[in-house]
A and B are shown apart, each in its own frame.
Chain A
Amino acid sequence: MKIIVCIKQVPAKDAPLSIAGNWIRESDIGFEMNEPDSYALEEALRLKEKHGGEVIALSMGPERVKQTIKEALAKGADRGIHIADDNFAQLDPLGSAKSLAAAMAKENSDLVLTGLQSDDHGFGQTGVLLAGVLDRPHATIIMAIEVQDGKLRLKRELEAGWFQHLECPLPAVLTIQSGINKVRYATLKGIMAAKKKEIATISRESLGVAVQPTQRVEKIYVPTKTKKTEFLTGTPKEAAAKLVEKLKFEARVI
């Protein structure tokens, strides 16, 4: 089975964000693999281990995203594709999906996996749109994948503790829910092996994708508070005593 995993590199979880217009100042912070995508990668590696085939890590963005592709290779992906674009943060979800689809056109994959959403933009649309652009069936928020007679049997998560089983033919696109598996760490051997693996770089312009944005993020900002928070200060002991006081006599909840 040939599996392509779309992986986004996003600002590190604890990175202090400094806002610049409709994006953030990138120079000040570290980046990491989008967590939901790390589950998609793990799932791809497990499917390959079970059914054979190849795992390709595909990522779009500036030079820095190569580091994330290398991490995927160190964990066991066979090769990487880097769509180089310094301005990819300005793409709308449809523009991203069209670019990713164009970059994987020659690959004839059986399965494309993505995380269910990114921790930065959080559009949560790329996988579904990719299926639309590739004209493939899809399923989202997947919690289990089984391959049976050339078809997929899936467990999809619904809200409030409900699930649904479904069948999906191949080739397909799936978005993976966090927690579907336990993500592996790269081993030293994996890191060494990754050095010999190929990363093909293509510029986004060379894909010839006409991008007509359907939406535009005008600006981002620190949200205005809807509730007035009373901050309790002092030593931990003082803050704790104040909090108990408030909960008992002001909020009257204990």
Chain B
Amino acid sequence: MKILVITEQRQGKWNNTSFETLAAAQQIAQETSSSVIALVIGKGVEGLANEVAAKSVAEVLLVEHDLLEAYTPDGYCVALSQVINSAKPDLVLLPHTYQVRDFAPKLAALLGKGMIGDCIGYRHEGGKLVFVRQMFQGKTAADVTFQGAAPWFASFQAGAFRADLVKAHPSGKAPVNRVTVELKPEQIRTKPLELFREAKSAVDLTQAPLIVAIGRGIKVPENIPQAEALAKALGAEIAASRPICDEGWLPMERQIGSSGQTVAPKLYLALGISGAIQHVVGMKGARTIVAINKDQNAPIFEIADYGVVGDIFEIMPALTEALQKTK
């Protein structure tokens, strides 16, 4: 089998989840006696292609074009469908980034194929690949298989594989082969404009050693002071899952998750957070995770070191009091 990994860069900087997906590809290749080809797409990205060529891959495909300097879904779909038609991979793997979500399903459909997105793992069983992804906001896992002929497309969730496990090339460097693509300006219908960040946030949660985070379980904004009192007793920063910030109950800069900040504090105390995938990717690197939730089946407990099943409105004040006593 031939596995193609489509890496991601923006303005010449890697999206590091590319290497997680490369690690997954190497692992699948080992189990299925397959070869791995890495693809770098953009403009002026030869340096990145050389960098990935030092990893254990059979070949690196370098796809460059003036019209690929800034990402557009049309540009990527037109260019990559040509590359896939000529390289004929069996399996195309991508990191499950916002950019991949934007173009990869369309790319697969252009070729009459489907994509299994946001996978957290895979199994190789009876000569067949089974991909594992989450459903119902992480409450269930699902085994998904491809139907029909190759190429098959799959994307892996951030953190599903470890980038530091990418194997280096056994004898130096793989060949970097340039692939020419035909791309006309009129084929690109959207016009990308400037990239920007909103006003610089006053808090940098990535530097906070202790974080108390609230989710939907807090119910109404009037309950937030209880969580803030607990955070104060702990000496922690307050943070939240997306719905709380969407409601405007806490500023967006306090949001943890795929669209907010990614944190890895010493302690992450999750109050009334169910543990949807989008939140978990932003905090699963925490050293110690405590979850307090009324639903004992909440997915947050799958990654928690300590759990309390109960009413946060009873436990928050009790915990605040217990912490104050230890001071």
Interfacial residues, chain A to chain B (CB-CB below 8 A): 11, 13-14, 17, 19, 22, 24, 92-94, 97, 116, 119-125, 128-129, 131-133, 137-141, 157-169, 177-179, 182, 212-227, 229-233, 236-237, 239-241, 243-244, 246-248, 251, 253-254
Contact = CB atoms under 8 A, between A and B. Distances in A.
B66 interface: no
Nearest to A14: B295
A229 B197 contact: no
Contacts of B242: 178-179
Interface of B: 73-74, 97-99, 101-103, 105-106, 108-110, 113-118, 130, 133-148, 189-198, 201, 210, 216, 234-235, 242-243, 245-246, 248, 253, 258-262, 266-267, 277, 287-291, 295, 297, 299, 301-311, 314-315, 317-319, 321-323, 326
A212 B148 contact: yes
B104 to A, nearest CB: 8
5 contacts: A124-B118, A129-B109, A214-B113, A216-B144, A223-B134
Q: Which 8 A-B pairs have the closest CB atoms?
A: A214-B114, A179-B246, A137-B189, A240-B318, A165-B193, A236-B314, A125-B105, A223-B141
A220 B142 contact: yes
B307 A230 contact: yes
Contacts of B137: 119, 122
Contact of A122 (B118, B245, B308): B118
Given A160-B260, A218-B143, 4 more contacts: A222-B141, A224-B141, A232-B308, A239-B315
Nearest to B312: A236
Contacts of A244: 319, 322-323, 326
Contacts of A121: 135
B101 A128 contact: yes
Contacts of A166: 190-193
Contacts of B144: 215-218
B139 A94 contact: no
Contact of B117 (A124, A160, A216, A230): A124
B307 A231 contact: yes
B142 A219 contact: yes
B196 A164 contact: yes
Contacts of A119: 136-137
B192 A164 contact: yes
Given A141-B98, A217-B143, A240-B318, A11 B136 contact: yes
B248 to A, nearest CB: 8
A17 B140 contact: yes
Nearest to A153: B193
Contacts of A165: 193-194, 196
A116 B118 CA distance: 14
A168 B72 CA distance: 11
Nearest to B148: A214
Contacts of A236: 310-311, 314-315, 317-318
Point out which of B110, B135, B189, B323 has the most chain A C-beta atoms below 10 A from its C-beta.
B135
A173 to B, nearest CB: 10
Nearest to A154: B190
A215 B105 contact: no
Nearest to B315: A236
B284 to A, nearest CB: 9
Nearest to A213: B147
User: Quick one: which of B99, B287, B319 has the most chain A CB within 10 A?
Assistant: B319
Contacts of B234: 254
Contacts of A219: 142-143
A94 B305 CA distance: 39
Nearest to A161: B197
Contacts of B101: 116, 124-125, 128, 140-141
B114 A128 contact: no
